[in-house]
Amino acid sequence: MPLLSRYYPGSYSDEQFLLEKRIVRHALFVSVSIIILLWLIKIFEIEFRFDFSSWGIFPLTAKGLRGILFSPLIHANFEHLAANTFPLFILTFSLFFFYRKSSYSIFIFIYLLSGLFVWLVGREALHIGASGIIYGLAAFLFMSGIISFNVRLLTISMIVALLYGGLFWGIFPIKPEISWESHLWGGISGLGLALLYRKQAPSGQMPIEEEESGDSEQEDDLESEANQSGDYN
């Protein structure tokens, strides 16, 4: 849709307001669908007594390659999944709201790159969970906010960082049971993609065409008033 690629948050004509409602609904649909999928997988695993952890990433093994696709869908327990649910929902929604034209490609890149790097340089252990995607999205939105001076992107990332419980410290090998490699490489992937997509970063400002149109209308109004009053400069 051409309108989607031209739209910037901040302008609120009737057309843009309706468009924003559609974008919000779409972002909600995608983010909620992902969360529901993760919970259904975990419920299925528990209900039928399966253990999907073997489908995680095991670095530098052919069998572990499948984990690049499946590891973000697998969680150790409900506590692990619950801890990832809120930040994943907020960050996914934000990505699909602000980056409506390239949101799918960005999400897929973060999904695959974070897992690929873990497979290449991670410890000899099974790595599971969606935290790599969370760190990738948080880093992407935060860096995009800096590049575009978009306060809303920065605020969302900072709120998630605070609520997620020390997001920054998760990239260090403090707790051996946590895949800090997923956090680190997810974050690096997000930062790199933010630079790659820097020209598409939303500024949160009214498009230039609309600003110029508004200025032209103001000038026409002033000229009309001057003609009526007989005052000229």
For residue range 16-35, list pLDDT tens digits in order. 788 889 999 999 999 999 99
Residue 50 lies in domain: 2-203
- Domain membership flag for residue 233: no
CB burial string 29-40: b at 16+ within 10 A, e below: ebbeebbeebee
Could you tell me how many residues make up the chain? 233
- Domain membership flag for residue 216: no
- Domain membership flag for residue 30: yes
What span, in angstroms and rounded, lies between the C-alpha atoms of 84 and 66? 21
- Domain membership flag for residue 90: yes
- Domain membership flag for residue 217: no
Q: In what helix (H) or strand (E) does residue 84 lie, and over which residues does it extend?
A: helix 78-98
Q: Percent of the chain beyond pLDDT 90?
A: 56
- Domain membership flag for residue 213: no
What span, in angstroms and rounded, lies between the C-alpha atoms of 27 and 97? 6
User: What average pLDDT does the chain have?
Assistant: 82
* Helix-, strand-, coil-residue percentages of the chain, each rounded to 5: 75, 0, 25
What span, in angstroms and rounded, lies between the C-alpha atoms of 1 and 4? 6
User: Bigger pLDDT: 205 or 78?
Assistant: 78
User: Bigger pLDDT: 215 or 182?
Assistant: 182
Q: Is 195 helix (H, G, I), strand (E, B) or coil?
A: helix
- Domain membership flag for residue 127: yes
Q: Percent of the chain beyond pLDDT 70?
A: 79
pLDDT of residue 217: 46
Domain tally for the chain?
Answer: 1
- Domain membership flag for residue 218: no
For residue range 186-227, list pLDDT tens digits in order. 999 999 999 999 888 776 544 434 444 444 444 455 444 444
What span, in angstroms and rounded, lies between the C-alpha atoms of 221 and 49? 73
The CATH number given to whatever domain includes residue 176 is 1.20.1540.10
